[in-house]
Structure 1
């Protein structure tokens, strides 16, 4: 359970904060080599040709600039002891601006050199990197939060990928490009993440230091350092009396000579120039042996007399002071010289890799889970039969092992075998003692590890070593990827553990490399030789899915005037009246093939210079080029002719929507929220709610959603959702009410009651007629304090426990961010982690969230 929580936190932060962190990483890599890039773009500006003459003193440079720019005051002057390095000066900012212009000056002539190419770009990049272009105080808080999110991602990623052989460098650090699919993505994500872990911890902690004042104060306190208060306005001015009003011109000669007596071998010196010659001058400088660019000493000197008022040398700093000074070099990598900068820049550039692979892993996981739920429902859940002679147990990470177990159990049940189907996580030694035969289908995670859900069984099996399971005959189908060192490692662990307990194998373990057909057929034949008919090779894909036609017959805007995006109620009928109406269960999904808006297709055709009416062959069908483009990913480049273009087109991906009606209604009804992006309406929502005319034919197919499947009408059910999540809840309610079920409790949330009370008349009628036992509503914007659906659930804690004690099933449908997470948190606080886990294991907590 603890690992599941960390996994949920890791992917949630990864797909939210991680998306922004990708851009911060890229900008950070650019800033790491800002000086080199600008120098390359502006030859002869930041560095000039070395000459056989002495460089100008700071006072001479100041006088030259006063002649060339008499109206502008210089606030900072940076000089380098390296021959040929230009003098960098910063002018006072104009009124209303925070930063003054930075320019470079020829150190031999004092001439103002041309502006550096790219400086404005890098200033913009730095503002984005440090504040996301937000106001400074807000940007600091946001960036500090993102830095802490990066720290959480790094540490949680380390915990989640901790291998069983923690001392094996191969398990930690080996990249394997021979892997394919999800295995390759996981390998890239986890191994490169391990390589970059130290760098990301440094990025996160040093970034939080600058962005969050409380974090900085805490670090400074631990280091025994306090921040120097900023110099107050007017500090250092001479206060001899009211007649001291005449401004004194700044002369740097005495101050510079005094500086050279104390630091004759300096590397660089930054002079912060006061407005008047009577005010003290601050000089920050690097000694010849400074370990990094922030190992600076500080001198305060009076320009008129050259008297040194204060001298703070870096080498005299405390250990804590040196640590504070090293924070910036650590962040940039300069603490370790050029190799450190390169390493940190590469780590920054790697951030998009983690974002992309993380998203791909997340979407793949969702897709496989959806397919698994659909397959489970299509096969029919094999029931656990009392006294069943055969136990089929599975351990699955992505759903493949569970699919095979479902097919195996379903096929055995049809052949008359009494079968118990169970996840390995729920299997105990006591369970094994009550079954004489066991079929194990087990995936391996990573380098020989158990899937997350099966770690508990692995531990229980080790603890049971020496106990007698001599009555048990078993077979193991081990799934894995041969490119991993410990191919099918967890399957072999199970095989070894069962042998240790005296269990007898029916035949040797069967290894399957990435759903290899030959290995699956070997499993079938071995089972058949023991009188078990369990065909599983039919899991391999044989044909493409079909897409029936549906007619859009109604479309109504339900929340006109709402603060939120428009919500539309759609009604679809099967286009083939000669065929029986398609059947589905409550909770089902409708997968819709979207189409591009006609005006967007027309713009593409105009850009490509092609005629949309041209007949083409596309994906085995003959149609117009415009039709082919409408249902394809729009091309970015032109082709030689229309047919060549049609052959290159890739089909659009289907979008899934919860069905908001029951089969008894005779129509498929949807509740679709119109999505709006910078370039217009969302592809699928725009097509369904705006562009598709009434009477249009849509390509769509019904998909069962086993993880959100209905229960019998006499079982109490609690439905919780918000926004368009009402669709999945309404489908359940309508089916239950058609069946005469009345133990229905709905908790629904939206923004405003006036505009967003979806299906108001229908819900109120059900409530009045006793078909809805309870209705709790949360309209968050109707009062000053925001109230959400999870708050209503917390307020009804006593009633919730009462319903759960009576065997109620919980259904949650709607947004994952906010609502679903909030409901999860409330249930955990009310029931405890164990109580919530019990609901999950009993399949009484069913969610359809997005």
Structure 2
């Protein structure tokens, strides 16, 4: 809540004051190099050709100026000892004008030079920068308020973008030009803002110091300076007293004022300060008044490190000498305010940095506005999705179907910028259109413990920055990491991970959440689906997967895509033939494991290592025959289903069989068969890891027979026993982003039993690509019967294509040994491989093996290191 308040303050100040601050920043950058620009535009004015003769003294210059400008009085004269540097004089302003004209004077001839080109432009720019061309008092208040606004923007921006890992330099300062869209804008806005934070704090504080009197007085008080004494104006007490004496001497006649003489005063100054960088003489209106000389010593740290001397022009007597070196710390700090503002405190590099910082202000205004408008667009899209969801609540519920039979769903989302929430609302609308009861909830409003009260959960999780949870889900993430391990074995879930592929930890929070759910025993309906920057095809894949697993009706999938996404067609099912079936573990104490090969007629199957093969199973023929016998129906009867004609026995073989077998009306067998067909729902597909590569010319599967009280498992029984070799199967190959190849880096493969399938697919791909940094840890019951693909693995090991092979056959010795034990034994080697950038792949049973491997990794590497591997997508699992 506190962070949200500051976010609202930040964007409100940004969109209200941002435009003016941009122009102030640009004008400040121009003023930073005003002298240099005018000098280039006006050769021979601010600097003249160096002469062999000595430069004129201040008195000589004053006399020359009087000859050329007899009607104008000089109020200030600046002398620089640098050869060829023109003297700068300021004339008294005409009545009603606030500031007098400044001109440059040739130091050798005393000629008043023409005004530099651009002087008028820079004077207007300065008035804009200091007062926005408003009346002075009003402009100061406005500028002071803007200065405080800039300070608030800088500090609130720092708070809002504080990295989750504050000790990471890349999180603070690395600008990533590979990012796109909102991610790039945010990266640009926040990272460059961090670079320039100190400069903007300096700008805001120093600018406000000059603009607001109360702020200035407060700073002066803190510095121990209090209110500075008022400058004594020309014609002060001493002048008044002496003028009174003249009036007394001649009441009826006013004596002509004597001309101001600078010779004695200048000689006194040179005697005290023989070496200086710059001297500014403030000339009084009357010759009897003292002259003030502000000067920079030879080694002055900045242009405001000025000392002050007061001299009587008639005698050259020094009445006062205040050296900068004698000032208090607070006085020196006050004197540094202007150089800090301009950057001159740090010399030329400081000026350049501060000028660039000023020029960068439009960047923040533009990116801030773009982020603000994008946020408004997303809010509008959210309102549209909420309205669509509300319409589904008001609509009449669809007829009962497989979706409604499965009970209510929780759609939980973790959103940073509203995208995950929008997809969650859209998914919930599809569920309601399919007849399901739905609750939509942010992870900010739930806890890991509350998830146990739901049986079916769909997660839509965005990732923020480098693999972190969105702000709204940070509390959930903390509880998730601290949870004591409550079982979620009764939970079925699916997970959509939103991210940006240009980040190193792509969809990192989604993978972390998926890993945690699997460790708690939750059953994934299908592998995690990744979405790169709201890619339409990936969003459509999400809906397609929900439809194929009976979560939503296929008829509503893709019907109402989110407003800014288009629906992309998806590849459908294909006919593959079962070309080979071979038991790999005859004599094993465990259930039989079969090597199965599927071939496509056109030989056009394409997949990458780690992919899954979804297979539509069929009931055993004898089971269908028994059901038809009980129903007293002819299996050859043709019935209508989904717009096509099927034999009843074929339709039953691919459908969820009815629980109750009521005897139909025997007088009309056809009507009874059609009535039965109208109640049937298709079987859900079963997923298997692909154990081959496309170059093998076939999809290889490893299928372990599952036995239940009523016989073999539906899918494993169909693939390993009931389907004849040569039979046609409906198969669909799908990517498994959570188990995809990682490129040419070391790889550690850990698995047991039929989990060898997913590992073998990767190994065959890497061996074919010449990548030999492969380490396999495999476990089963007995070496004699359960060493799957033994010949192939031992050949790779002998040829150096497998760097290391660790085996754990649990029943070959009195004490049980598992792959996690082999992992612990090789802890030092494991740490070395991880330090070299290795990726870990785990494939096999969730209960026992996967949890044991997770514990062994934490023991060997540390919990934080394992979490980092998950977020970096270097710990990949395909467990079941």
TM-score, normalising length: structure 1: 0.61
**For structure 1, which segment, 435-444 or 467-476, has the greater mean C-alpha deviation from structure 2 after superposition?**
467-476
Match of residue 308, structure 1, among 297, 307, 318? 318
* CA spacing shift, 1:164–1:310, aligned 2, 3 Å: same
Matched, 1:102 2:109: no
The residue aligned with 2:232 is 231
The residue aligned with 1:426 is 445
* CA spacing shift, 1:315–1:421, aligned 2, 3 Å: same
Match of residue 461, structure 1, among 480, 483, 494? 480
C-alpha distance in 2, partners of 1:312/1:272?
16
Shift of 1:475: 2.5
**For structure 1, which segment, 415-424 or 218-227, has the greater mean C-alpha deviation from structure 2 after superposition?**
415-424
**Contact (CA 8 Å) 1:179, 1:483: kept in 2 or not?**
yes
C-alpha distance in 1, partners of 2:565/2:382?
18
User: Structure 2 matches for 1:49-448, cutoff 5 A?
Assistant: 49-226=49-226, 227-232=228-233, 234-235=235-236, 236-237=238-239, 239-240=241-242, 242-245=244-247, 246=255, 247-380=257-390, 389-448=408-467
Matched, 1:473 2:492: yes
Matched residue SS, 1:239: helix
* CA spacing shift, 1:375–1:542, aligned 2, 3 Å: closer
**CA deviation map 1:509-542 (0-9, x unaligned):** 3221112344334434543454323735963779
* CA spacing shift, 1:388–1:130, aligned 2, 3 Å: farther
C-alpha distance in 1, partners of 2:174/2:405?
48
Please tell me whether Structure 1 or Structure 2 has the larger radius of gyration of its CA atoms: 2
Shift of 1:83: 0.6
C-alpha distance in 2, partners of 1:367/1:241?
75
* CA spacing shift, 1:497–1:205, aligned 2, 3 Å: farther
Matched residue SS, 2:210: helix
Shift of 1:319: 1.1
C-alpha distance in 2, partners of 1:137/1:180?
45
* CA spacing shift, 1:404–1:35, aligned 2, 3 Å: same
Unaligned runs of 5+ in 1: 546-850
C-alpha distance in 2, partners of 1:142/1:367?
32
**CA deviation map 1:402-438 (0-9, x unaligned):** 2221222222223233322222222234531210121
Matched residue SS, 1:495: helix
Matched residue SS, 2:497: strand
**For structure 1, which segment, 337-346 or 501-510, has the greater mean C-alpha deviation from structure 2 after superposition?**
501-510
Matched residue SS, 1:439: strand
Matched residue SS, 1:19: helix
Matched residue SS, 1:422: strand
C-alpha distance in 2, partners of 1:448/1:426?
21
**Contact (CA 8 Å) 1:255, 1:303: kept in 2 or not?**
yes
Shift of 1:239: 1.9
Matched residue SS, 1:539: coil
Matched residue SS, 2:375: helix
RMSD, matched Cα: 2.4
C-alpha distance in 1, partners of 2:508/2:366?
28
* CA spacing shift, 1:302–1:241, aligned 2, 3 Å: closer
* CA spacing shift, 1:386–1:507, aligned 2, 3 Å: closer
C-alpha distance in 2, partners of 1:537/1:444?
27
Shift of 1:178: 2.0
* CA spacing shift, 1:472–1:372, aligned 2, 3 Å: same
Matched residue SS, 1:532: coil
* CA spacing shift, 1:156–1:542, aligned 2, 3 Å: closer
* CA spacing shift, 1:288–1:88, aligned 2, 3 Å: same
C-alpha distance in 1, partners of 2:506/2:412?
20
The residue aligned with 2:561 is 539
**Contact (CA 8 Å) 2:536, 2:565: kept in 1 or not?**
no
Matched residue SS, 1:225: coil
C-alpha distance in 2, partners of 1:128/1:409?
55
Shift of 1:497: 3.9
Match of residue 469, structure 2, among 443, 450, 461? 450
C-alpha distance in 1, partners of 2:65/2:387?
81
**Contact (CA 8 Å) 2:234, 2:289: kept in 1 or not?**
no
C-alpha distance in 1, partners of 2:565/2:332?
67
C-alpha distance in 1, partners of 2:57/2:505?
69
C-alpha distance in 1, partners of 2:391/2:347?
62
**Contact (CA 8 Å) 2:148, 2:205: kept in 1 or not?**
yes
* CA spacing shift, 1:218–1:285, aligned 2, 3 Å: same
Shift of 1:232: 4.4
**For structure 1, which segment, 234-243 or 284-293, has the greater mean C-alpha deviation from structure 2 after superposition?**
234-243
* CA spacing shift, 1:509–1:451, aligned 2, 3 Å: same
Matched, 1:509 2:521: no
**Contact (CA 8 Å) 1:393, 1:422: kept in 2 or not?**
yes
**CA deviation map 1:624-683 (0-9, x unaligned):** xxxxxxxxxxxxxxxxxxxxxxxxxxxxxxxxxxxxxxxxxxxxxxxxxxxxxxxxxxxx
Matched residue SS, 2:241: coil
C-alpha distance in 1, partners of 2:160/2:231?
45
Matched residue SS, 1:428: coil
**CA deviation map 1:471-496 (0-9, x unaligned):** 33332211011112322122223234
Shift of 1:119: 0.8
Shift of 1:449: 3.0
Aligned residues: 545
Matched, 1:495 2:517: no
* CA spacing shift, 1:496–1:298, aligned 2, 3 Å: farther
* CA spacing shift, 1:500–1:205, aligned 2, 3 Å: farther
Shift of 1:465: 4.3
Matched residue SS, 1:397: coil
Matched residue SS, 1:380: helix
User: Structure 2 matches for 1:333-732, cutoff 5 A?
Assistant: 333-380=343-390, 389-499=408-518, 501-533=520-552, 535=557, 539=561
C-alpha distance in 1, partners of 2:243/2:155?
61
**CA deviation map 1:37-78 (0-9, x unaligned):** 111111100000111110000000001111111110000000
Matched residue SS, 2:353: helix
Shift of 1:499: 4.5
C-alpha distance in 2, partners of 1:210/1:460?
50
Matched residue SS, 2:280: strand
* CA spacing shift, 1:351–1:399, aligned 2, 3 Å: same
Shift of 1:320: 1.0
Matched residue SS, 2:309: strand
**Contact (CA 8 Å) 2:59, 2:263: kept in 1 or not?**
yes
**CA deviation map 1:261-310 (0-9, x unaligned):** 11111011000001112111000001111111111111011111111111
**CA deviation map 1:139-169 (0-9, x unaligned):** 1111001000000001111111111111111
Shift of 1:386: 14
Matched residue SS, 1:77: strand
C-alpha distance in 2, partners of 1:542/1:175?
28
C-alpha distance in 1, partners of 2:405/2:337?
66
Shift of 1:18: 1.1
C-alpha distance in 2, partners of 1:258/1:398?
70
